[in-house]
């Protein structure tokens, strides 16, 4: 890659890494796995950089790889891990409310990977039905139905969580 | 479908708004520090580009080999009773052992030969690392899972699509106190040196000095056995690499890199330089030149590979 192109790539990575990580994190629910898939997607982008010169093409390309990586990892059901003698301490993340954040992540974790990806692309990345369908390799109709079902499920889970948390679980 | 349902599916309804709000709740006030930087990705990307080029070369080489084997089989009958087709050089890996059925000429199975190849690689790693750190007071490494031999090779380089084992490799870490610096907090700066050795199959190593680093002058020495040793340094002598290319194109590539030259990122903060830097280009060259053990890949056998880069 030419030096100028490489500089452009570095600029893109610096500017977009965190946003991509967050999208991947919402899709897979694991901070480390999200980091892995973003890294994989950005490495693939390096190889394809000369083919995706326009900025919007780059985002689309990376999102496509990201979605594929997340869904593939979920299908695989295991992750390559290296054993270490001791686990380093991890500082709790700062945020508006850790409980709320966890509740959303737990709710997302109960959705099927493609349904989850659909919701993240539609409501986090704000992509249209057609753009989401293109990324997921399915029809717009499938995206619509996945969206409706996913939203209903997510809403139900979040409401249940709220009810449980406030001790107002209604029977029947 | 009602208008309300349609709006929900389009993402404009109340549930869509709730989803947006829920996702917004997951944003952290302070951004997590990612374990990679743009620099790391550029280095990784360059390696990936190189591997793709290598895979293309391997692909064309493999095609030629297939044609050659087919032609030999067609002309000479081939078949399991014949000798191994490709055998340009003698190698211990192809030595025939007595089979349980008592057939002294039974060829080794692919699995047996693959294990033998790995053992050859492990012996080379042990020899080289033993000379780099006599007594093993400074080197540490993570043993491969389920390894049956010491210094069992990691996967090395392989091409996934073709399932071709291009090289066997071994990584170790050198520290002054001999303590493994991993797992490593992200703000740790203690110095360490990455040690890497690879043995490449004939013709698949390529130019190890091309591209990525600003190597200084490359010294070139021809040994009595016909092999050629090339050595160079970069980053003020904190990145050293020596490559011995055998007569049949096999390569031993041995490198040491002070982590301080990587500029941080891969594991967190930038490591401090190792002072004094304990290795010289001449030392690495001498170690690799002295390797006299048989190498894997010597007879053209392609080991079985799980190919997990």
- Under the banding of pLDDT at 50, 70 and 90, the label for residue A152 is confident
What are B159-182's pLDDT values in tens digits?
766 677 888 888 888 999 998 887
Q: What is the ipTM of this complex?
A: 0.70
What are B200-256's pLDDT values in tens digits?
888 888 888 886 678 899 999 999 999 999 999 999 999 999 999 999 889 999 999
**Residue A69: its pLDDT value, please?**
77
Long-range contacts of residues B157-162, Cβ cutoff 8 Å, at least 24 apart: B157/B51, B157/B54, B157/B198, B157/B200, B157/B309, B158/B305, B158/B307, B158/B308, B158/B309, B159/B51, B159/B54, B159/B55, B159/B58, B159/B307, B160/B307, B160/B309, B161/B55, B162/B55, B162/B58, B162/B59, B162/B62
Residue numbers in B near A84 (CB within 8 A): 182-183
Q: What's phi and psi for B249, nearest 5 deg? A: 95, -5
Using a CB–CB cutoff of 8 Å, tell me whether B9 touches chain A: yes
* Cα A137–chain centre separation: 16
What are B65-123's pLDDT values in tens digits?
444 444 443 343 333 332 222 222 323 333 333 334 445 456 778 888 888 888 889 88
Å from A6 to nearest chain B CA?
Answer: 7
**Residue B219: its pLDDT value, please?**
94
Task: For residue A26, give the nearest of B11, B23, B29 by CB distance.
Answer: B23
Residue numbers in B near A42 (CB within 8 A): 41
Residue numbers in A near B30 (CB within 8 A): 93-94
Å from B276 to nearest chain A CA?
Answer: 29
Q: Give percent above pLDDT 70 in chain B.
A: 68
Distance CA(B78)–CA(B74), nearest Å, equals 7
For all residues of chain A together, what is the average pLDDT? 75
- Under the banding of pLDDT at 50, 70 and 90, the label for residue B144 is low
Using a CB–CB cutoff of 8 Å, tell me whether B2 touches chain A: no
Of residues A6 and B104, more confidently modeled: A6
* Test mutation, B3, B6, B11, chain A, max A CBs within 10 A: B11
Å from B154 to nearest chain A CA?
Answer: 13
**Residue A164: its pLDDT value, please?**
74
What are B29-79's pLDDT values in tens digits?
556 677 777 877 887 777 777 666 666 655 555 444 444 444 443 343 333
**Residue B283: its pLDDT value, please?**
95
Task: For residue B28, give the nearest of A94, A104, A144 by CB distance.
Answer: A94
**Residue A145: its pLDDT value, please?**
87
SS3 B295: coil
CB contact under 8 A, A14 and B23: no
Using a CB–CB cutoff of 8 Å, tell me whether B1 touches chain A: no
Task: For residue A94, give the nearest of B30, B142, B185 by CB distance.
Answer: B30
**Residue B186: its pLDDT value, please?**
72
Model confidence at B1: pLDDT above 50 = no
**Residue B261: its pLDDT value, please?**
86
Using a CB–CB cutoff of 8 Å, tell me whether B8 touches chain A: yes
- Under the banding of pLDDT at 50, 70 and 90, the label for residue B307 is low
**Residue B152: its pLDDT value, please?**
76
**Torsion, Cα of A99, A104, A109, A114 (10° steps):** -160
**Residue B257: its pLDDT value, please?**
92
Of residues B153 and B225, more confidently modeled: B225
CB contact under 8 A, B42 and A107: no
CB contact under 8 A, B49 and A47: yes
Distance CA(A84)–CA(B142), nearest Å, equals 9
CB contact under 8 A, B18 and A158: yes
**Residue B103: its pLDDT value, please?**
52
CB contact under 8 A, B23 and A123: yes
How many interface pairs between A and B have CB atoms less than 8 angstroms apart?
127
CB contact under 8 A, A18 and B38: no
* Test mutation, A38, A148, A160, chain B, max B CBs within 10 A: A148
Using a CB–CB cutoff of 8 Å, tell me whether B308 touches chain A: yes
Å from A129 to nearest chain B CA?
Answer: 7
CB contact under 8 A, B23 and A152: no
CB contact under 8 A, A80 and B5: no
What are A22-60's pLDDT values in tens digits?
888 888 877 887 888 888 888 888 888 877 766 667 888
Model confidence at B285: pLDDT above 90 = yes
Whether omega for the bond prior to residue B298 falls within 30 degrees of 0, making it cis, is no
Distance CA(A124)–CA(B24), nearest Å, equals 8
Of residues B23 and A119, more confidently modeled: A119
């Amino acid at each position: 890659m030419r030096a100028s192109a490489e500089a452009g790539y570095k600029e893109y990575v610096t500017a977009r890494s965190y946003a991509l990580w967050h999208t991947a994190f919402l899709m897979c629910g694991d901070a480390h796995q999200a980091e892995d898939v973003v890294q994989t997607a950005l490495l693939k982008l390096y190889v394809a950089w000369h083919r995706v010169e326009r900025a919007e093409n780059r985002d689309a390309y990376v999102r496509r790889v990201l979605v594929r990586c997340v869904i593939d990892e979920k299908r695989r059901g295991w992750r390559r891990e290296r054993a270490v003698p001791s686990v380093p301490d991890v500082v709790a993340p700062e945020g508006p409310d850790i409980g709320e954040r966890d509740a959303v992540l737990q709710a997302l974790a109960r959705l099927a990977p493609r349904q989850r990806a659909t919701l993240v692309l539609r409501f986090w990345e704000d992509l249209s039905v057609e753009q989401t369908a293109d990324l997921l390799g399915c029809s717009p109709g499938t995206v619509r139905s996945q969206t409706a079902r996913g939203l209903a499920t997510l809403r139900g889970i979040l409401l249940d969580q709220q009810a449980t948390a406030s001790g107002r679980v209604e029977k029947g | 479908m009602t208008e309300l349902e349609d709006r929900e599916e389009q993402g404009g309804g109340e549930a869509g708004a709730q989803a947006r709000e829920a996702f917004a709740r997951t944003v952290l006030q302070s951004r997590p520090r990612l374990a990679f930087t743009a620099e790391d990705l550029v280095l990784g990307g360059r390696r990936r580009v190189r591997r793709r080029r290598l895979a293309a070369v391997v692909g064309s080489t493999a095609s030629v080999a297939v044609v050659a084997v087919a032609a030999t089989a067609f002309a000479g009958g081939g078949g399991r009773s014949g000798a191994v087709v490709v055998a340009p050089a003698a190698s211990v890996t192809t030595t025939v052992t007595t089979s349980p059925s008592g057939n002294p000429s039974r060829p080794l199975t692919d699995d047996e030969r693959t294990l033998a190849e790995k053992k050859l690689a492990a012996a080379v790693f042990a020899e080289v690392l033993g000379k780099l750190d006599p007594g093993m007071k400074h080197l540490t490494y993570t043993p491969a899972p389920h390894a049956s031999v010491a210094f069992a090779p990691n996967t090395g380089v392989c091409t996934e699509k073709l399932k071709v084992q291009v090289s066997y490799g071994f990584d170790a870490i050198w520290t002054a106190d001999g303590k493994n610096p991993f797992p490593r907090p992200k703000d740790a700066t203690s110095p360490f040196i990455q040690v890497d050795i690879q043995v490449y199959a004939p013709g698949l190593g390529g130019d190890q000095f091309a591209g990525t680093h600003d190597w200084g002058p490359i010294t070139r020495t021809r040994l009595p056995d016909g092999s050629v040793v090339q050595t160079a340094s970069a980053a003020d002598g904190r990145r050293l690499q020596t490559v011995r290319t055998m007569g049949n194109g096999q390569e031993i590539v041995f490198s040491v890199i002070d982590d301080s030259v990587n500029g941080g990122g891969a594991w967190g903060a930038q490591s401090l330089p190792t002072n004094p830097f304990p290795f010289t280009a001449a030392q690495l060259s001498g170690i690799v030149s002295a390797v006299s053990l048989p190498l894997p890949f010597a007879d053209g056998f392609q080991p079985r590979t799980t190919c997990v880069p």
